[in-house]
Amino acid sequence: MKKCILCLGSGGIRGFTHIGVLKALQEHQINVQAYFGTSVGSLVSVFAASGLSALEIEKKALSIKPFQLLDLTFPKNGFIKGEKLKTYVEENISEKNIEDLKIPVRIIATNSKTGTAVIFKSGLISERVQASCAIPNIFRPTEIDGVEYLDGDLKSPVPMLIARNEFRNEIIVGVNIIARIDQAPRNHRKWSRWVAKDIYRRSLVDHEKSAADIYMDIDIGYFGNVLGDWPMQQIEIGYQETLKIIPKLKQLLVTV
């Protein structure tokens, strides 16, 4: 029996989709043996690796209040400090360090000085998740041991190649929740900025997706309202899309 290695990608509030992926996998008794997470994918990964079920993660995610994770500050390389996110992780996960989690997790961030991807395998969970989620110009860079880190999305939005390099003979499943370029509203004043960003991010994903045995590019639309029904809709879409790949995944896991 081979191992299922799950790579959960970046996407901000689109990350509710990852919960639906977990629900489908758990429902069909597919055990994830290691998580690789970038940005919001790292947040969902550490919750799952701590032993929480998808339903428990869903309950926590849907109960988050507006600005519960956002601590606005005077702009200085970002107008959100990220300390609330760090505290939220500390309060909701009993384990302190990555190496203490029940299931192995790799958290991806970007070294702001060298521009290289960094793979966190140990150290404070909350601090590493904060670093992985440090979206440039929105969140302030996260300093760890004198080094500043930014969002892992800058180098590896869905860390499938990183996972393959570590687990060469296992089954890699990549989950991409980046917005579709052609769905960006053409008449909006920020259209070109959004498209440029998503083209860049998708080019990084395209470079890695051949490393995955199963690659999911989940379409949840371009915009949504986190205060409305959109989070539940995302979870349902993630769940339904994952159901489609379950037969193939089960077959791959038993392949010698």
Residue-wise pLDDT for 87-119, tens only, equals 889 999 999 999 999 999 999 999 999 999 999
pLDDT at 75 over 70: no
Query: Can you give the pLDDT at residue 79?
Result: 40
CB under 8 Å to 153, separation ≥6 — which residues?
10, 38, 39, 110, 135, 201
Query: Can you give the pLDDT at residue 144?
Result: 95
| Gap between the Cα atoms of 22 and 20, Å rounded | 5
* Burial of residue 180, with CB atoms counted within 10 A of its CB: 0-12 exposed, 13-18 middle, 19 or more buried: middle
CB burial of 20-41 (b: ≥16 within 10 Å; e: otherwise) equals bbbbbbeeeebebbbbbbbbbb
Catalytic pick among 42, 151, 153, 198: 151
**For this structure, is 50 an active site residue?**
no
Closest to 109 (Cα-Cα) out of 158, 156, 171: 156
Where does the pLDDT of residue 70 fall: very low under 50, low under 70, confident under 90, or very high at 90 and above? Answer: low
Catalytic pick among 10, 39, 42, 132: 39
Query: Can you give the pLDDT at residue 198?
Result: 92
**pTM for this structure?**
0.94
**For this structure, is 45 an active site residue?**
no
